[in-house]
Structure 1
Amino acid sequence: MTNNSFVIQGGRILPVEGAPIDNGTLVVRDGVIDSIGGPETPVPADLPTIDASGRWIVPGLIDAHVHLGVYEEGEGWAGMDTNELTDPVTAHVRAIDAINPADLGFADAVASGVLAVNVNPGSGNPIGGQTVAIKCVGRTVDEMAMVAPSGLKSALGENPKRVYGEQKKTPSTRLGTAAVIRGAFVDAQNYQAKRAAADDGKPVDRDLKLEALSSVLRREIPWRQHCHRADDIATALRIADEFGYRLVIDHGTEAHLLADVLAERQVPVIIGPLMVSRSKVEVRNRSVANPGLLARAGVTIALTTDHPVVPIAHFIHQAALAVKEGLDRTTAMEAMTINPARILGVDDRIGSLLPGKDADFCVWSGDPLDVLSRVETAYIDGVVVHG
């Protein structure tokens, strides 16, 4: 019998997709959830049993927007690989090629219940590069990766305007940033048309930038749009209408001002970071009440620390503060589990506790939204990775 097959009994289980189960039973075989239920659930005689009485069993949390491994803590410039600031359009660069699994932040993530993340390039470029959804433990990023790429990062607002304005290059304004993005998509459309029209004997030379943008146009991966202000969110919607891709709003500081529009269009918002100062003009309306405003309007939300902007160990604390300011508790848990899993396209594997899914979960000492609770044991694929 492998060490990733066992039974946990007696705890309060939060499946997320389903009602909480008191005195629950969770059966794991070969790193996969075999069954879940109440105390009457059959317990296989061949499996060891772990007593979780008085504990809470919760799916691994998922932060859908971080810079773990590409912006290493305590390393200075040597560990800073978030932005390739040599060209406004770097759709061909991939976060997976810069992630260091030895970044201290991964251990912090696991110890605080975050077992999976989506690593993004930075927001210095109008088009920053390809994101990757990974689990938080592994010797190499290839072992950790679940979906690569899981999206293509883009930025509107102050950051690209500042970076290239200081270089006296385009884009130095919001209208310039939008023009760069639109121009890149037109180039990708022309590239697709050229490839479709090419004779078999005359292949079109490959272009990694345009291939990445074409995957967005074909709706294979989402367009991950960094934007804070409501006017930038409106621009994101306008460009998405023009080119027809799947849009995800990242940060969404003022998304509540357009909540009805986002809800009607079913555009999800990955909101945060929440525990930060108003460090620039476009985040002056930051508030831990905003997730609740969005959720009550019918917008699908996920939470983010934007680690290392907010250290990932405080992911759960952001949720607790949002609940304090009106976010429904159930929605808060969904915003850290199944909602980001769906946004990243990994909800068939993680994000809830259901038979057939990966045994990625944590045993908490109590209610995870209680600041006094802590992760006692964390499992990825049924293997203990913390505790």
Structure 2
Amino acid sequence: MKQWMLICLLVGFGQVAAQEIPIAFTGATLLPISGTPIEQGVLVVQQGKILAIGKASAVRIPLNAQRVDLSGKTLMPGLIDTHSHVGEAAGADGSAALQPDVRVLDALNVLSPSLTRARAGGITTVNVMPGSGHLLSGQTAYLKLRKGKTIQELLLCKDLLNEVCGGMKMANGTNPMRDNGTFPGTRARSAAMARQLFLKAQHYQRKVQDAAGDASKMPDRDLQMEALVQVLEGKRTVHFHTHRADDILTAIRIGQEFGFKPVLQHVSEGWKVAKEIAASGFPASVIVIDSPGGKLEAMEMRLETGATLVKEGVLMGYHTDDYITDSRLFLRSAALGVRAGLGREKALESLTLAGAKMLGLDHRIGT
């Protein structure tokens, strides 16, 4: 069954997964996200996996189970942050605008207090990103925020050499633009540079396919091309930083041209092009801030964006972009969405199941 991490003031993080004997949480209101709330519910967990869930009258509690009375409390899946910078992570450097070979997992401090801050906010799964100062700043890392001393202990993959352990960070708009020869100086040049690299990746992909497993015919290994071929084959999800309406549409065009389905990240002006986003079928992860200032291209951000996107049928979630929003305040992002017209059920989904779907992990987490 799916793994569940729990938000509850009475349950310390990591306690559930560490128990050898079953734990039965009784008396709480359960929010499954994928189903209706269960009043006076029972949840039985052992070694981080659900054994049973339902009304007290329908769940058989093992005789050896440790019982925890949570009357008056609420249990729900752990929160999923689809865009964060916890762990003091760093990605691409100033040598080039496009660096898909860079792995953020090689520069991520899992002992950083910022991960403790995220746990305190109820976040149990996080997509740790490199920065947005590049057109392509490298590979992201999907982490389960369990306690551990090494990156391997937190990654949501088992073999970091042979498995895809995260997504790919792309960006457009003002962040990647600079006045030098290696970075773009205009939005149009930004798109052209990204498209050219994907054309190169398609050529590399054809060489690999033509080799048909014959090692003597395989092209030389190229870390950049290997990572982008994973994108082209749908094995690695692009997380596309984009704020302004025209930039959002450019990100959509690039994804459609090369056949990948990006998660549109931030979408500050997504409310302006909600129908176009819906028509693309691409999900959107929304940034919410409650004080103005900073980025000019985000000045027309609206709290109504989440509700507007959901109304048009877009898979919508929220993220912290920590430290833009402190991870401890992640729940507030959805609360501000509710204030602006988002329904309660969709608000809860936006912090859990929607994020799981964006990361391709909804078979494991989110409900």
TM-score (norm. length: structure 2): 0.89
Counterpart of 1:62 (choices 55, 69, 80) is 80
Task: Give the Cα–Cα distance (whole angstroms) in 2 for the partners of residues 296 and 245 of structure 1.
Answer: 24
Change (3 A) 1:169 1:93: closer
| Matching residue of 1:357 | none
Task: Give the Cα–Cα distance (whole angstroms) in 1 for the partners of residues 21 and 288 of structure 2.
Answer: 35
Task: Give the Cα–Cα distance (whole angstroms) in 2 for the partners of residues 84 and 346 of structure 1.
Answer: 30
Matched position secondary structure for 2:292:
coil
Matched to 1:150, the amino acid is G
After TM superposition, list the pairs within 5 Å mapping 1:116-265 onto structure 2.
Answer: 116-137=125-146, 138-147=148-157, 148-161=164-177, 164-165=178-179, 167-198=180-211, 200-265=215-280
Task: Give the Cα–Cα distance (whole angstroms) in 2 for the partners of residues 187 and 298 of structure 1.
Answer: 34
Matched to 2:81, the amino acid is D
Task: Give the Cα–Cα distance (whole angstroms) in 1 for the partners of residues 293 and 325 of structure 2.
Answer: 13
Q: Report deviation, 1:293.
A: 1.3
After TM superposition, list the pairs within 5 Å mapping 1:43-82 onto structure 2.
Answer: 43-71=61-89, 81-82=90-91
Q: Report deviation, 1:281.
A: 1.8
After TM superposition, list the pairs within 5 Å mapping 1:360-379 onto structure 2.
Answer: none
Counterpart of 1:94 (choices 98, 103, 115) is 103
Matched to 2:204, the amino acid is Y
Matched position secondary structure for 1:159:
coil
Matched position secondary structure for 1:150:
coil
Matched to 1:158, the amino acid is T
> Does the 8 Å contact 1:4/1:31 carry over to 2?
no
Matched position secondary structure for 2:109:
coil
> Does the 8 Å contact 2:20/2:46 carry over to 1?
no
Counterpart of 2:296 (choices 263, 269, 281) is 281
Q: Report deviation, 1:168.
A: 4.6
Matched position secondary structure for 1:250:
strand
| Matching residue of 2:45 | 28
> Does the 8 Å contact 1:221/1:246 carry over to 2?
no
RMSD over aligned CA atoms reads 1.6
Q: Can you list the C-alpha shifts for 1:95-116, whole angstroms capped at 9, x where unaligned?
A: 1111111111111111221111
User: What stretches of structure 2 of length at least 5 have no aligned partner?
Assistant: 1-17, 158-163
Task: Give the Cα–Cα distance (whole angstroms) in 1 for the partners of residues 218 and 336 of structure 2.
Answer: 55
Matched position secondary structure for 2:216:
coil
| Matching residue of 1:323 | 338
Change (3 A) 1:294 1:82: same
Q: Does 1:10 align with 2:19?
A: no
Q: Report deviation, 1:200.
A: 4.3
User: What stretches of structure 1 of length at least 5 have no aligned partner?
Assistant: 72-80, 353-387
Change (3 A) 1:241 1:2: closer
Structure with more contact order per residue of length (Cα contacts < 8 Å, sep ≥ 6): 1
Change (3 A) 1:313 1:2: closer
Task: Give the Cα–Cα distance (whole angstroms) in 1 for the partners of residues 258 and 61 of structure 2.
Answer: 53
| Matching residue of 2:284 | 269
Task: Give the Cα–Cα distance (whole angstroms) in 2 for the partners of residues 2 and 298 of structure 1.
Answer: 40
| Matching residue of 1:379 | none
> Does the 8 Å contact 2:23/2:44 carry over to 1?
yes
Task: Give the Cα–Cα distance (whole angstroms) in 2 for the partners of residues 69 and 280 of structure 1.
Answer: 23
Task: Give the Cα–Cα distance (whole angstroms) in 1 for the partners of residues 249 and 27 of structure 2.
Answer: 49
Task: Give the Cα–Cα distance (whole angstroms) in 1 for the partners of residues 142 and 349 of structure 2.
Answer: 18
> Does the 8 Å contact 2:271/2:304 carry over to 1?
no
Task: Give the Cα–Cα distance (whole angstroms) in 1 for the partners of residues 128 and 355 of structure 2.
Answer: 13
Matched to 1:154, the amino acid is M
> Does the 8 Å contact 1:275/1:310 carry over to 2?
no
Matched position secondary structure for 1:231:
helix
The count of residues paired between Structure 1 and Structure 2 equals: 340
Matched to 1:159, the amino acid is N
Give the structure with the higher percent strand.
Answer: 1
> Does the 8 Å contact 1:66/1:305 carry over to 2?
yes
Task: Give the Cα–Cα distance (whole angstroms) in 2 for the partners of residues 187 and 18 of structure 1.
Answer: 45
Counterpart of 2:313 (choices 273, 298, 303) is 298
Q: Does 1:108 align with 2:123?
A: no
Task: Give the Cα–Cα distance (whole angstroms) in 2 for the partners of residues 338 and 204 of structure 1.
Answer: 40
Q: Does 1:339 align with 2:346?
A: no
Q: Report deviation, 1:255.
A: 1.2
Matched position secondary structure for 1:139:
coil
Task: Give the Cα–Cα distance (whole angstroms) in 2 for the partners of residues 56 and 179 of structure 1.
Answer: 50
Task: Give the Cα–Cα distance (whole angstroms) in 2 for the partners of residues 304 and 276 of structure 1.
Answer: 16
Bigger CA drift: 288-297 or 15-24?
288-297
Q: Can you list the C-alpha shifts for 1:326-382, whole angstroms capped at 9, x where unaligned?
A: 111110110000010111111121111xxxxxxxxxxxxxxxxxxxxxxxxxxxxxx
Task: Give the Cα–Cα distance (whole angstroms) in 2 for the partners of residues 4 and 177 of structure 1.
Answer: 55
> Does the 8 Å contact 2:252/2:280 carry over to 1?
no
